[in-house]
């Protein structure tokens, strides 16, 4: 699938701020089934700082805006050619041992209900099968209902209210997978959403579970499937905060408001720029 992505995040402050610093995880992963062309990140008034690939294989870019400013826009544009790998993450160079993803965070800590949910799933022939069952159990337990949870909602809270969005589904799946001793992590990315699906967010999130022999496999309990050619993977972490595409902070008293617009559209062919540029 040929996808054209425009992702803009605009921060507005009611009073001018200075020394805005951001750490961006906004570049598609280098892996099988994902080829990136003409990827560009721009921060208005910003200075591009350090860029490096971290141990998880994510491309991280630091940006600073000296200010004073009342508005900063982070704009990402580019094109990605995708192919379905049945959710399997292959050809992705990373150095972190999977066992490092058994650690809990506040957002993914299992309370009694999550422990019960994890225990309710029957043992399977292998860990891949178990991961599928856990994902299905989370899809059943948490209905996709936008607007009822926020960025700081934990897996336990989402399960208690029985509804949430992709972030909550991912957190819950991570929590139950770790309870069953399967390394699990949060993945942020984009989704080419069509109308039939339940989850319509173009800025999307899902979970990856590490299974023997195959490695990391993506699961999207919000859409009851594994990531396919509609998905673009950006980066991973222990939870949503750890995997956030944008982490930033500014000096000053200004209250912040945020506008996000993501457009992922399928195109017949990439336009005339003949020189495809791949991130490495």
Partner 1 sequence: MSYYNEMYEGSRVRDPYARLSQWVETMPADFRQMKQAEAEALFRRIGITFAVYGEGGDPDRLIPFDMMPRVFEQAEWRRLERGIKQRARALNAFLRDVYGRAEIVRAGRIPARLVYQNEAYEKAVVGVVPPRGVYSHIIGIDLVRTAKDEFFVLEDNCRTPSGVSYMLENREIMMRMFPGLFRGNRIEPVDQYPDLLRRTLESVAPAKCHDRPTCVILTPGHFNSAYYEHSFLANLMGVELVEGADLFVDGEFVYMRTTQGPKRVDVIYRRIDDPFLDPLCFRPDSMLGVPGLMDVYRSGGVSICSAPGAGVADDKAIYTFVPEMVRFYLGEEPLLQNVQTWTLWKDDDYKFVMEHLPDLVVKEVHGSGGYGMLVGPRSTREEIEAFRAKIEANPGNYIAQPTLALSTCPTFVEEGLAPRHVDLRPYCLCGDRIELVPGGLTRVALREGSLVVNSSQGGGVKDTWVLSE
Closest separation between CB of residue 26 and partner 1, Å? Answer: 13
CB 71, min distance to partner 1, A: 19
Tokens of 222: 């919000």
Query: Nearer Cβ to partner 1, position 22 or 149?
Result: 22
Task: Tell me whether residue 163 or residue 241 sits nearer to partner 1 (CB atom).
Answer: 241
Based on CB atoms, which residue is closest to partner 1, 64 or 163? 64
22 counts as binding partner 1 under rule CB under 8 A: yes
Residues 77-116, interacting with partner 1 (CB under 8 A): 95-97, 99-100, 102-103
Continuous H helices in the chain = 112-120, 127-141, 155-161, 166-179
- Judged by beta carbon, residue 178 or residue 192, the one nearer partner 1 is 178
**215 binds partner 1, rule: CB under 8 A:** no
Backbone angles phi, psi at 170, to 5 degrees: -65, -45
Cα(217)–Cα(221) distance, integer angstroms = 13
C-alpha 120/C-alpha 110 separation (Å) is 14
What is the rounded CA–CA span in Å between residue 119 and residue 87?
25
Among 23, 161, 198, 279, binds partner 1 (CB under 8 A): 23
244-263 residues near partner 1, rule: CB under 8 A: 247-249, 251
CB environment 23-62: b (16+ within 10 A), e (fewer): bbbbbbbbbebbbbbbbebebeebeeeeeebeebbbbbbe
> Which of 19, 271, 273, 277 touches partner 1 by CB under 8 A?
19
Instruction: For the CB of residue 200, give the shortest distance to partner 1 in the complex, in Å.
Output: 28
Query: From the CB of residue 87, how many other CB atoms can be counted at a distance below 10 Å?
Result: 22
Q: Which is nearer to partner 1, 66 or 83 (CB)?
A: 66
Residues 36-65 contacting partner 1, CB under 8 A: 47-52, 54-56, 60, 62, 64
Contact between 212 and partner 1 per CB under 8 A:
no
Q: Using the rule CB under 8 A, is 141 a contact of partner 1?
A: no
Beta strand 163-164 pairing with 143-144: parallel
Count of C-beta atoms within a 10 Å radius of residue 14: 11
d(CA 38, CA 5): 11
Q: Which of 1, 6, 10, 21 binds partner 1 (CB under 8 A)?
A: 21
Shortest distance in whole angstroms from residue 48 CB to partner 1: 7
User: Cα angle at 111 between 107 and 117, to 5 degrees?
Assistant: 105
What are 26's two structure tokens?
Answer: 């906004």
Task: Kindly state the smallest distance separating residue 54's Cβ from partner 1, in Å.
Answer: 7
Confirm if 70 and 13 have CB atoms less than 8 A apart: yes
Using CB under 8 A, list all residues that contact partner 1. Answer: 19, 21-23, 47-52, 54-56, 60, 62, 64, 66, 95-97, 99-100, 102-103, 238, 241, 247-249, 251
């Amino acid at each position: 699938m040929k996808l054209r992505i425009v992702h803009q995040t605009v921060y507005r402050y009611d009073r001018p701020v200075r020394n805005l610093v951001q750490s961006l995880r906004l570049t598609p992963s280098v892996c099988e089934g994902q080829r990136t062309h003409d990827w560009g990140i721009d921060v208005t008034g910003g200075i591009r700082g350090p860029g490096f690939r971290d141990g998880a294989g994510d491309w991280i870019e630091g940006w600073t805006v000296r200010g004073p400013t009342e508005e900063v826009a982070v704009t990402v544009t580019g094109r990605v050619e995708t192919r379905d790998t049945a959710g399997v993450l292959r050809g992705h160079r990373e150095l972190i041992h999977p066992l490092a993803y058994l650690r809990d965070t506040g957002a993914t800590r299992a309370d009694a209900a999550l422990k019960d949910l994890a225990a309710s799933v029957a043992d399977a022939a292998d860990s891949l099968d178990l991961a599928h069952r856990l994902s299905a159990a989370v899809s059943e337990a948490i209905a996709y209902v936008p607007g009822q949870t926020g960025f700081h909602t934990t897996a336990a809270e989402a399960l208690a209210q029985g509804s949430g969005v992709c972030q909550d589904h991912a957190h819950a799946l991570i929590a139950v997978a770790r309870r069953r001793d399967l390394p699990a992590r949060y993945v942020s990315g984009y989704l080419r959403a069509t109308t039939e699906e339940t989850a319509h967010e173009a800025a999307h999130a899902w979970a990856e579970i590490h299974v023997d022999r195959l490695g990391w496999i993506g699961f999207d309990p919000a859409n009851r499937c594994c990531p396919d050619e509609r998905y673009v993977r950006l980066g991973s972490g222990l939870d949503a905060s750890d995997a956030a595409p944008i982490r930033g902070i500014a000096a000053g008293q200004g209250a912040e408001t945020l506008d996000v617009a993501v457009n992922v559209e399928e195109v017949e062919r990439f336009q005339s720029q003949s020189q495809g540029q791949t991130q490495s």
